[in-house]
Amino acid sequence: MTALHPRLAPVYDEVIKRNPAEAEFHQAVKEVFETLSPVVAKHPEYADAQVLQRLCEPERQIIFRVPWVDDAGQVQVNRGFRVEYSSVLGPYKGGLRFHPSVYLGIVKFLGFEQIFKNSLTGMPLGGGKGGSDFDPKGRSDGEVMRFCQSFMTELHRHIGEYTDVPAGDTGVGARELGYLFGQYKRLTNRYESGVLTGKGLTWGGSQVRTEATGFGAVYFVESMLATKGKDLEGKRVVVSGSGNVAIHAAQKAQELGALVVACSDSGGYVVDERGLDIDLLKDVKTVRRARISEYAREREARYVDGGSVWDVPCDVALPCATQNEIRDAEAKTLVTHGVEVVAEGANMPCTPDAVKVFRDAGVAFAPGKAANAGGVVTSSLEMQQNASRDSWTFAHTDERLRATMTEIHDRCVATADDYDVPGDYVAGANIAGFTRVADAMLAFGVI
């Protein structure tokens, strides 16, 4: 991997020392640091003011107990987290993840990434993230409600539309957000719509919020291809996952003329050479909450139990499942099969070794902090509507999303050119996101 700048290496060593056993956080920090050498060389004032050291330490880390009672009357105890990472550009903004894998290192990695993702949008948003090791899968609505109410009973002390604005993420959809908002309203006696984003349309939500991350990733790919004089028409696309992001990425890619031939879940993957039936996929995964194998059976498509969806040849790869799902081997397989574009729809789904494989092969690669910024873009639009007591149409909101994703793409390209790394979306995204935050930190003094 790229050697760190002499002024960055000791900062990274200190991150490892101060945050032991948090591998995902270490990976996220190193990935950013590896692209900042030209920034430190051009702007030594950032290093002189210890901006990097300060940025690697969250402003606030909250860990709390979440007791709740299951349907059998047994008391269960989970752990809740909220890392309020950086507020120099605006209130903390980032999702809540409910999944057994959640621990402090995951939340810090996600919050660190969120700082730069939110900065890239150009909107006045800080970065944060939260969640719990609670698993909503297999739980009744009553159990999920009781857990969410207990979780919000503690979290409500730390959030607000001018302080910290959580949203949904893995395991936190419309059902969970409804229970969370209801408890916040009950505890505070305020109908403060701007305190959460991703809300239902009947109680302060925004059109396109459900579709935003998936749509946004495809809009970013559209811009990447346009720089090469190409478009999505006729492109063969593979999407990993079959959750909200994956489904809507597949939907938008097909609307723009692509053929989406595969998607996956934790059990295996399906290959549908006719192109995914999006309506059936939505019914199986979001209505019935069933396995992707059921889609394959009803659609009479090929199902592979286990294995890697990245064995399926494609022109465009959209990893939309989870962190570190594409490693060295999967990346080499994609390159061998002729992939042209890889855009991260999830947070850090490609390992550093995989990214190096793509770069060395000349594959256009877009990191998650740029390509999957659509969710936070539409969250910001939801906040604007809440503040003005307004409601926009689907078409208007989608137009705003598409325009902002194009602006993010162009910002990455221009920044990479300015720092003599043309075509490097990783460097462009990291540098553009970092410098906006760093300049604000310098302006505020030592805080």
Gyration radius from the chain CA atoms: 21
Are 249 and 214 in contact by the 8 Å Cβ rule? The answer is yes
C-alpha span between 122 and 124 (Å, rounded)? 7
Q: Which residues pair with 97 in a beta bridge?
A: 131
Which residue among 93, 108, 117, 129 is the active-site one?
129
Measuring CA to CA, how many Å separate 298 from each of 248, 272, 280, 303, 419?
Answer: 20, 12, 9, 11, 51
Q: Which residues pair with 131 in a beta bridge?
A: 81, 97
Are 363 and 109 in contact by the 8 Å Cβ rule? The answer is no
C-alpha span between 283 and 264 (Å, rounded)? 15
Q: Does the annotation mark 129 as catalytic?
A: yes
C-alpha span between 117 and 89 (Å, rounded)? 12
- Token pair 């209130």 is found at 91
For β-strands 75-86 and 60-69, DSSP reports them as: antiparallel
C-alpha span between 405 and 120 (Å, rounded)? 10
- Residue 259 phi/psi, 5° resolution? -115, 105
Quote the tokens at residue 47. 């290093």
Measuring CA to CA, how many Å separate 405 from each of 117, 300, 321, 376?
Answer: 11, 36, 20, 11
b/e burial code for range 135-163 (CB count within 10 A of at least 16 → b):
ebeebeeebbbbbbbbbbbebbebbbbee
Cite the active site residues: 129
